[in-house]
Structure 1
Amino acid sequence: MENNIIPSALTSGLVPSPADAPTVRWGILGAGWISSRFAQAVSQRTASTIAAVGSRSAERAEAFIAANLEGHPEPKVYTTYEELVADPDIDAIYVGTPHSHHLEHGLLAINAGKHVLVEKALTRNAGEARELLDAARDNGVFIMEAMWTRFLPHIAAVHDLIDRGVIGEITTVIADHGQHFEFNAEHRLYNPDLAGGALLDLGIYPLSFAHDILGTPTEIVARGQLTETNVDGQISMILDYPGRQQASLSTTLWGATPTTASITGTLGRIEIDGAFYAPTSFTVTLNDGTTSRYEKDDVLGLEFEAAEVARCITEGKLESERITREQSYAIMEAMDQIRSQVGVVYPGE
């Protein structure tokens, strides 16, 4: 029968409701755009709270609170990150600063004994990632890369279909992420001092998706083109795996691509609508022409990673099984390989 409806991962119990997760008191380190989205998701869709906001500017912190936390208990404001991480009324720190500062700010929180959720990419490179992950281990605190895609309901439904053998043995993963950004040498995506470029900010989504589905590749071939500031403007990647598996991935700063993904197996394929890395829908098409449809869930998205952190901390876990420390490290190693092939080196590396 065609046009079957695949039940929501929320209603079918594949994904627990974020509203049912334990309470965590969050400190926000860095009052930028992605931190705004995280604060909204936490305050609106979970039982956790934003206890404090840290920014170099008190005015910016106040504006952040007014824009994102209206109607909720007003958090404390700190104008130094050192004061923020020292607050005894904070359980976990969300690091939402540019990639270039993730190591510094992550270590600041870890050395203060705080659990940490660090925005993707975890750091600039694998060496920094190892330092950050080792510090978390040595201090006995939880750490996770904020790859929100892994916790979304539609991705849970995709894994369920794969695990049940619906599309057979996986052979091919295809994914892209491109956005159009006008050139501005000071913009974080074009600025090498801020670890700019398409890969760490956009390309990490298809790369992490391929890792989630197929694991760590045995070989990576990458070709790219650089911007005027010598960061990567566009990259195409082929990832090889044992047997008959391969991933074809791409990313660019120069155009808004479909941002779709597909997983093809010997019995059929899963085609995830754009943006595949955000809450969305997908279609399953089997070799006999039978189709099934998963419709987009009514969610914000970032609440699921926040809920995962809250559950892990409450259960005494130091990492999430959905994106472990070593998985994040392996992805950073892959990005180092890709940047090396393309010719991108950040200041100080």
Structure 2
Amino acid sequence: MPQPLTHDGPVRWGILGAGAITASAGPDLRDTDDCAVHAVAARDLDRARRAADGLGAPAAYGSYAELVADPDVDVVYVATTHGQHLEHALLAIQAGKPVLVEKAFTLTAAQAQQVVHAAQDHDVFCMEAMWTRQHPLLLRAQALVADGAIGDVVGVRADLAMALPFDPAHRLFDLAAGGSALLDLGVYTAVYPWLFIGPPSGTSTTGRLSPTGSDSTAAMLWSYPGGQWAQLSCTVEGPSANEAVVLGTTGWLTFRGPLYRPPELVVHRGGPLEGTDEVLTAPLAGNGYGPQFAEVARCLRAGLAESPTVPLADTVGVMAVLDAARRDLGARFPADMR
């Protein structure tokens, strides 16, 4: 097991990447209790300095290797695009740094397993930045289901979409960059059945590919030995309700969109024409990333190798299901050929 982090100051973070994720999540990291942004790295030093200055970080680096070598960095946040996650996570882990790796964790389950094995070999903490799992309403919903609030769970529906004009250079359509609606959007929909039913015993997927061969629309059906089911969809070709529903034998839960950061959870007890609704809210500061950073800090203080709320087995398992979905659609990354 990793040694607990014991110094008196806040957990000092190094961020790999100075792009959109850092711009969105960085301020929340800066403002999270027991966390401080110590350094930002990018391939362009000026860009790294601008990001570091904006987050109040004292250090900026023009290479990722310099950041992971900084002895004052306690943990590395891999905030590059997911096509780079394998390389950058391994770089940090091999330098002995704990890592929080943006989702999608990697391009494939084989890559995910490679990162997990490296973290285990180097005895460092590792977690996927699936911030939705830390959302207070998701945690509350799991407790409600465990207490029988909606009876036995029989099914889950979840959809997430955005409308993007086709651009072969855009990262969502560029296979070399890991372009994939499943990896950008479908990974969020997978959270709901995985948490409320578990890993599926079978899957099938239909959808459509973009002109570059990336998956642009995917509709997944998950099946279970007990007859439960999940219907999940994602697309970059148009809008959707962007919400999730967990159906039980005596009621249901509706996570109003966007499902990656639901503003409301509606608990319906009773049948479709009767019963009562209870609307739960859990306002989050900033852009809503704070709980995941707080969880990493907690785990580092406790000397944990992984988070119990984002277990690495789940991360690898979801990647395997997304691998199967892409195979059904005929979407293949260069990494699939290796």
Between the aligned partners of 2:253 and 2:262, the Cα distance in structure 1 is 15
Q: Tell me if the contact between 2:32 and 2:294 (Cα under 8 Å) persists in the aligned partners.
A: no
TM-score, normalising length: structure 2: 0.93
Counterpart pick for 2:100 among 92, 104, 117: 117
Counterpart pick for 2:302 among 315, 333, 339: 315
Between the aligned partners of 1:342 and 1:298, the Cα distance in structure 2 is 37
Q: Could you say which residue in structure 1 is the equivalent of 2:260?
A: 277
Q: Could you say which residue in structure 1 is the equivalent of 2:204?
A: 221
Q: Could you say which residue in structure 2 is the equivalent of 1:293?
A: 279
Between the aligned partners of 2:28 and 2:225, the Cα distance in structure 1 is 39
**3-state SS of 2:334 partner:** coil
How far is the alpha carbon of 1:279 from its aligned partner?
A: 4.3
Cα shift readout 1:138-189 (whole Å, capped 9, x = no counterpart): 0000000000000011111111111110100000100001011111111110
Counterpart pick for 1:130 among 104, 113, 131: 113
Once structures 1 and 2 are overlaid, which stretch shifts more, 99-108 or 275-284? 275-284
Which runs of 5 or more residues in structure 1 are unaligned?
Answer: 1-21
Distance 1:348 1:43, change over 3 A: closer
Between the aligned partners of 2:323 and 2:304, the Cα distance in structure 1 is 28
Between the aligned partners of 1:42 and 1:99, the Cα distance in structure 2 is 20
**3-state SS of 2:310 partner:** coil
Q: Could you say which residue in structure 1 is the equivalent of 2:3?
A: none
How many residues in Structure 1 have an aligned counterpart in Structure 2? Answer: 324
Between the aligned partners of 2:133 and 2:284, the Cα distance in structure 1 is 17
Between the aligned partners of 2:16 and 2:183, the Cα distance in structure 1 is 20
**3-state SS of 1:304 partner:** helix
Q: Could you say which residue in structure 2 is the equivalent of 1:194?
A: 177
Aligned residue type for 1:329: V
Root-mean-square deviation (Å): 1.2
Q: Could you say which residue in structure 2 is the equivalent of 1:26?
A: 13
The residue correspondences of 1:57-206 to structure 2 (distance < 5 A) are 57-66=44-53, 68-69=54-55, 72=56, 74-206=57-189
How far is the alpha carbon of 1:244 from its aligned partner?
A: 2.8
Counterpart pick for 1:305 among 288, 292, 296: 292
Between the aligned partners of 1:299 and 1:261, the Cα distance in structure 2 is 22
**3-state SS of 1:312 partner:** helix
Q: Could you say which residue in structure 2 is the equivalent of 1:16?
A: none
Aligned residue type for 1:297: P
Q: Tell me if the contact between 1:279 and 1:297 (Cα under 8 Å) persists in the aligned partners.
A: no
How far is the alpha carbon of 1:79 from its aligned partner?
A: 0.4
How far is the alpha carbon of 1:98 from its aligned partner?
A: 1.2
TM-score, normalising length: structure 1: 0.90
Once structures 1 and 2 are overlaid, which stretch shifts more, 261-270 or 273-282? 273-282
Q: Tell me if the contact between 1:133 and 1:143 (Cα under 8 Å) persists in the aligned partners.
A: yes
Aligned residue type for 1:304: P
Aligned residue type for 2:306: E
Aligned residue type for 2:35: S
How far is the alpha carbon of 1:45 from its aligned partner?
A: 3.1
Q: Could you say which residue in structure 2 is the equivalent of 1:5?
A: none
% identical equivalent positions: 38
Q: Does 1:333 align with 2:320?
A: yes
Cα shift readout 1:182-201 (whole Å, capped 9, x = no counterpart): 11111110100001010001
Q: Does 1:236 align with 2:219?
A: yes
How far is the alpha carbon of 1:23 from its aligned partner?
A: 2.7
Once structures 1 and 2 are overlaid, which stretch shifts more, 216-225 or 30-39? 30-39
